[in-house]
Copies of this chain bind each other. A is one copy, B any other.
Amino acid sequence: MATKKLAAGVTRTDRSLMDGRTIRYYDTQGQSRNAEDQRPIEEQPPIGEMRLDPLSNEWVVMAAHRQGRVFLPPKELNPLAPSRPGFLTEIPESDYEVVVFDNRSPSLRSPETSVSIPDHADFTTAPVPAAGKCEVVCYTSNYDASFKDLSHKQIRTVLEAWRDRTAELSELAYIEHIAPFENRGEEVGVTLNHPHGQIYAYSFIPPKTARMLDVAREHRAKTGRVLLDDIVARELKDEVRIVAQNSEWVAYVPYASRYPFEIHVAPRRSVTDFVALDEAASDSFAPIAKEVLQRLDGVFGVTMPYIASWHQAPVRQGRESLRLHWQIQSVRRAPGKLKYLAGSESAFGAFMMDLKPEQSAQQLRDVAL
């Protein structure tokens, strides 16, 4: 059992699960993490494959073994709860603060031999192993909590886990991009209601990141500036779409938002990734994160579904051009209505918005906290 000291008094302790996967306990009280996984040994499914969609030259991951995964179990069968006598879960300990473990049904996994994903794939490119990592991040052992209910200290511990995972995953030769995200709500397909996020570490630059990289590089070539810096400066200048701010972070509905409620949160001093985020910014994240998520749930007085995604610079490319920020996107457009990505959005990529960004920013600001 190796224990490692991280920032903010957080320690990380690694253990192995029954099938060889690693679980990492992120703690603030110096807890010992000795519990063994008592479940029977289980074989891991084989690695999947990635095929290039020849119409778009984008990789599609085929992971055919995932069809049978657990789907919305009741609270008493929650696999992300701590283990208890008679009910063994993914977390062998009887309690935890924050844990990160390898997904039991990962779409992407460590390749057995080194893989090389062609940079300029095209119609002739053969399938490659679905190399990468899929990790689960449990924010708390409390099933009934949500990210916005976490204490400042808990959020800081989650942030240290994101930073630690980014640093460690960046060291893997086959990883090109690291993407922490959270799906919240059955409306966006959540299969486990326990408060948790995921980290996908891709062996390729995912299509939307690749697009952002192209645009940011072009902006840099043209102006010498970092695109996200100019975007945040415009949001601060325009002011009308600002939702919240503190000394280190700015939260805004983006100028051309695509979802009825969309909030981007960026540090005032832009950085490539979590590893580069300094102490002051790390400490000031919790209050603005809680505030924007509370505002989001306050708009209609209902728990909002969302996808919250962290965008960082890729591991090996574009580190001069892309910058860390958090995007929160909700498809709820009214209490009983969702926005669906139908023909125009889904088949053609052209987004149609029913609500002006300035209107939704106003609604978010108007929420009494």
Contacts and interface: CB of A to CB of B under 8 A. Distances in A.
Given A60-B353, A307-B342, A343-B200, A123 B54 contact: no
A216 B53 CA distance: 12
Give the size category of A's interface with B: 35 or more
B329 A347 contact: yes
A237 to B, nearest CB: 13
Contacts of A216: 55
Given A207-B348, A347-B307, A350-B206, A215 B64 contact: no
Contact of A55 (B212, B338, B344, B347): B212
Interface in A152-180: 177, 179
B122 A218 contact: yes
A57 interface: yes
Contact of A60 (B206, B258, B338): B258
A367 interface: no
A179 B343 contact: yes
Interface in A11-61: 51-61
B347 A179 contact: yes
Contacts of A204: 350
Interface in A165-207: 177, 179, 181-183, 188-190, 198, 200, 202, 204, 206-207
A353 B209 CA distance: 19
Interface stretch (A2-10, A92-100, A267-275, A354-362): A354-362
A281 interface: no
Contacts of A60: 256-258, 351, 353
A290 interface: no
A56 B215 contact: yes
A338 B338 CA distance: 16
B347 A309 contact: yes
A252 to B, nearest CB: 12
Interface in A312-365: 327, 329, 333-334, 337-344, 346-357, 359
Given A309-B347, A350-B207, A355-B67, A255 B54 contact: yes
A336 to B, nearest CB: 9
A129 interface: no
Contact of A61 (B254, B346, B351): B351
Contacts of A357: 62
19 contacts: A54-B215, A54-B256, A58-B350, A62-B356, A63-B352, A71-B337, A179-B343, A179-B347, A179-B348, A181-B343, A182-B343, A188-B342, A190-B342, A202-B348, A202-B350, A207-B349, A208-B349, A307-B343, A329-B347
Interface of A: 51-64, 66-67, 71, 107, 122-123, 177, 179, 181-183, 188-190, 198, 200, 202, 204, 206-209, 211-212, 215-216, 218-219, 222, 227, 230-231, 254-258, 307, 309, 311, 327, 329, 333-334, 337-344, 346-357, 359
Given A58-B211, A67-B334, A67-B354, 15 more contacts: A53-B256, A55-B215, A60-B351, A62-B356, A63-B354, A64-B355, A64-B356, A71-B337, A122-B218, A179-B344, A189-B339, A200-B343, A200-B344, A202-B350, A209-B348
